[in-house]
Structure formats: C-alpha cells, structure tokens
Structure 1
Amino acid sequence: MKKRQVAWLFLLLAIVLAGCSEINQPITAESKGFWNEYIVYPLSWLITYMSELFGSNYGLGIIVVTILIRLAILPLMIQQTRNSKAMQAIQPELQKLREKYSSKDAQTQQKLQQETMLLFQKHGVNPLAGCLPLFIQMPILIGFYHAIMRTEEIARHNFLWFDLGEKKKDPFYILPLVAGVTTF
C-alpha cells in the first residue's frame, strides 16, 4: 500500500514540475499553467512587492523573500534534521542486525527486514521521513528560482556590484565565499 502512495506522490510531483519547461518566457499575471499561476507568479509578485517597499531595490526584495521562504520551510527542515539524527543514533543497532543476519537466503533477509522494522518502531523512526520534507521544499525553491529568473523587472536593476539581468558569475568571487562561510 505504501509503495502505491509513494508512486502517486512521484507522479503528482512530476506533473507539477512539468511546468518548469517554460523557462525562457517572462512570468506575468497572464501566464498559464498550474506551475506559473500558483507557484512562480505569486513568488514573483512577492519579490516585486517587497522590492517596492524598499524603494525598488530588487536585491533587498530577493533577500527578504528568501528569508521569508526559509522561515516558512523551517519546520520541515527541523523535522528532516531530527529524523536524520535519529537514524544516525540507531546505526550501531542496525549494523548489529546486518551482521546477525548476514546470510543471503530469502528467509534470513525477510527476518532482517522484520527486525529492522521493529527497531524503527521501537525508536519511533521513519526511514522515509527524512526525504518527504524535501519533496515539499523542492517545488518551492525551484519556483523561487524561476520567479527570479523570469521576472523582467529584476533583470533591469542592479544590486551592489551585480547587474541582476546578467547571467555572469560574481566578478570578485565574494558571493561564493559568503555562501561557503554561512553554510559552514
């Protein structure tokens, strides 16, 4: 039953992300399709709105919307991190089970699966719980990228040393360094 639900989830995700093919067309209120109408255009509008609040500074608008999006998906990220730590905590027990049932015959493998599921239940760990929040975050972050790329107003402005309409790299390599430091 769960395999069927996961298959439907992947199918739904593929349908939603199929709208990503209109990458070269500007986003407007008249853009058609689920992806454009419900994900990309609202994010584009939010960036534009925030930018207008900061005196048409699209760089600050993008930064503020980025922070808002990160705050909105923070509970998913926390859940994903907690589940990842719980999985790491039971790794020694999982390794012991694998050693105990190291035989390759089907009956032993079935017993290993049963013991593994009991271990997951005992510790309240779901091995798929670390991946599912990612499937919610992906369309939001990809839609945000599309909103930035396809909003024509952004392409006509500058922010700090960046020409936001240019697709060239940072000439001073400051942004990659800042990204690396903040990620660390």
Structure 2
Amino acid sequence: MNKRISLLILLVASALLLSGCTEYNQPIYETSEGFWNEFIVWPLVSLIVLFKDLLGTYGLAIIAVTVIIRLAILPLMIKQTKSSKRMQEIQPEMQKLREKYKSKDAVTQREYQQAMQKLLQDNNVNPLAGCFPVIVQMPILIGFYHAINRMNMTPEIDLGAFLI
C-alpha cells in the first residue's frame, strides 16, 4: 500500500510539474525549448495544423484533434468509470462498517481500517484506481489547451474565424 501511495504522489507531482513548466504567455514555435513545449504542446500544435490543412479550418481541426485525444484516453475513462461503479456497489456495505465501528478510540479505528481493507480486497476494489486515469489525462488536456492558446499568439498562424 505504501508503494502505491508513493507512486500516486509521484504522478501528481509530475503532472503538476508538467502543467506548470511552460511559457504560457509566449507564442509556441518548433524551436521552443523545454520538455513541455517539445513533447506535449508542439506536437499538438503540429497535429492541429495538419488537420487544418486536411479539413480547411482551424475550428474543424481542433474538433478532430479533440475527438482523437478523447478516443486515445477512452480506455482510461472506461477504467475510471468501472472503478467508480464498483465503489458505488459496495457503498452500503461500507456504510454498515462505519455504523459498526462508530467509536473514535484507536483500537476500534484500527479494526475499522482492517475490516474496510478486507471488504475492498474481497470485492477487488482499489479506491485509488479512479484517481489514476484522471492524473494521466490531466497533462494531455492541459497541453491541448496550451497548444490552442499559444497557437493563437503565433503570428504565422492566423486562426481567423472558428469555422470559416
């Protein structure tokens, strides 16, 4: 369990670092430096420009790239939904355990934690499984937002009207 918490903390820290490491108010170019710019924002900008060339407008290109991103992270969203559903299914049993171990003393709380862990293991439920997909999605979606916003600042790219 300790290893999982450490991994979760590492993932959250990485996501926060990646989402904050950018020259947010600067235009994006192919020569922009930094991990965030080179591997997240610029590839998304390039993908938007590619679809603009194929579809004719930036509005349709952004919609197409959004659909592609959502399809790519769909397995994570499904996993998150299934995990949430399993947690909801065992919610009545969890409530019974809370009622049974109402007392605030340390021994009772320890027994409650053990009973809760057993319940989760018996039902093959991981309470943190619903968080992991969100943590993975966060940098991708923030990067997509940065790509669109910083593309708008680049003089070589004229976004014009959205669907025209």
TM-score w.r.t. the length of structure 1 is 0.82
Alignment partner for residue 5 of structure 1, among 4, 7, 17?
7
The 8 Å contact of residues 58 and 163 in structure 2, kept in 1 or not, is answered as: no
Q: Could you say which residue in structure 2 is the equivalent of 1:180?
A: none
Answering whether residue 20 of structure 2 is matched by residue 18 of structure 1, we say yes
Structure 1 position 19, deviation (Å): 1.1
Q: Could you say which residue in structure 2 is the equivalent of 1:112?
A: 112
Q: Could you say which residue in structure 1 is the equivalent of 2:49?
A: 48
Q: Could you say which residue in structure 2 is the equivalent of 1:30?
A: 31
Answering whether residue 97 of structure 2 is matched by residue 97 of structure 1, we say yes
Q: Could you say which residue in structure 1 is the equivalent of 2:127?
A: 127
Residues 34-85 of structure 1 show CA distances to partners (whole Å, capped at 9, x for unaligned) of 1111000000100000010113x11000000000000000000000001001
Q: 1:80 to 1:53 in 2, by over 3 A?
A: same
Q: 1:144 to 1:61 in 2, by over 3 A?
A: same
Give the distance between the partners of 1:97 and 1:155, measured in 2 at CA.
60
With CA pairs under 8 Å and 6+ residues apart, which has the higher RCO, 1 or 2? Answer: 2
Unmatched runs of 5 consecutive residues or more in structure 2: none
SS of the residue 2:21 aligns to = helix
The 8 Å contact of residues 48 and 65 in structure 2, kept in 1 or not, is answered as: yes
TM-score w.r.t. the length of structure 2 is 0.91
Unmatched runs of 5 consecutive residues or more in structure 1: 162-184
Instruction: Name the amino acid aligned to 1:159.
Output: F
Instruction: Name the amino acid aligned to 1:44.
Output: V
SS of the residue 1:29 aligns to = coil
Give the distance between the partners of 1:42 and 1:120, measured in 2 at CA.
41
Give the distance between the partners of 1:26 and 1:141, measured in 2 at CA.
18
Q: Could you say which residue in structure 2 is the equivalent of 1:157?
A: 160
Instruction: Name the amino acid aligned to 1:77.
Output: M
Q: Number of residue pairs matched? A: 159
Give the distance between the partners of 2:93 and 2:25, measured in 1 at CA.
51
The 8 Å contact of residues 54 and 60 in structure 1, kept in 2 or not, is answered as: yes
